[in-house]
Amino acid sequence: MTAASLQPAPGAPASPGSSVSRGSRGSRGRGPGRRAGRRKTAVLEAACRVIADRGADATRFADVAAESGVPVSTLQYYFGSREDMLVAAFRHASGTEIAALEADVAAMSDPWDRLERIVTTALAGYSPDAPEAGRLWIESWHFGIRDPEMRADALEDYRAWRRLVADAVRHGVEQGRFGTGHPPETVARLAIALVDGMGIPLALADPDLSGPGAVQDVLAALRELLRPDG
């Protein structure tokens, strides 16, 4: 589950609950510090493109250097090891994505609109015409199976997505729009499971599944789970 684009949202706030708060902090102050921060962000975006194209296991410093135009020695200075560079790239991608979505849904007053936006955004990232986003998320699972730090990050990202859904459900219950047959946390777990279950075949370009169809199927299941009491 991931947004259609993993490009950073300029000025997007970092939510305390999102993984963006766990990422590397940019340099403060003026002059070279800011330039260095922008350069490192560009490197992370280049690393994301390489990972999406080659896979995490096949991504090397030399590949990211070629993509970003930044020397290998500078990448080693920034990250230390190849594994730390991969973790930083995944963290950058998920952090900017979740922060942007948090800001987006926070501006919506209608709880169903919030859920629809979350589901649509998540599944859009798996679409074959947006392969970078979905591939990065899947690569993070694969890498996280063997790397404890990446595993912790991926699980925290799942918690952030579930919080977004659960908050929207609570909002709908408070408004009397949604029923109380299932706790918000349960609905959130099921919603994210549905998104991933649809997203994986989408990422594999399953000819029997379309992006809009997947969105409608997930939303139909959520309507049943959230049917008003009585």
pLDDT tens across 124-174, in order?
A: 888 877 656 677 888 888 899 989 999 999 999 999 999 999 999 999 999
Give the whole-number percent of the chain exceeding pLDDT 90: 66
- pLDDT value of position 9: 37
Q: State residue 58 phi and psi, 5-degree precision.
A: -95, 0
Please check whether residue 40 is in contact with residue 24, taking contact to mean a CB–CB distance below 8 angstroms: yes
- pLDDT value of position 138: 85
pLDDT tens across 52-61, in order?
A: 889 999 999 9
- pLDDT value of position 28: 38
- pLDDT value of position 135: 78
pTM for this one?
Answer: 0.79
Give the whole-number percent of the chain exceeding pLDDT 70: 82
Q: Once rounded to an integer, what is the mean pLDDT over residues 78-100? A: 93
- pLDDT value of position 3: 37
Q: Once rounded to an integer, what is the mean pLDDT over residues 9-15? A: 38
- pLDDT value of position 41: 92
Burial class (CB in 10 A: 0-12, 13-18, 19+), 178: buried
Q: Is the pLDDT of residue 1 over 70?
A: no
Between 3 and 149, name the one with better pLDDT. Answer: 149
- pLDDT value of position 130: 66
Q: What is the mean pLDDT of the chain?
A: 84
Q: Is the pLDDT of residue 19 over 60?
A: no
16-30, 87-101, 202-216: least confidently modelled range: 16-30
Q: Which of 211, 186, 193, 15 is nearest to 94 (CA)?
A: 15
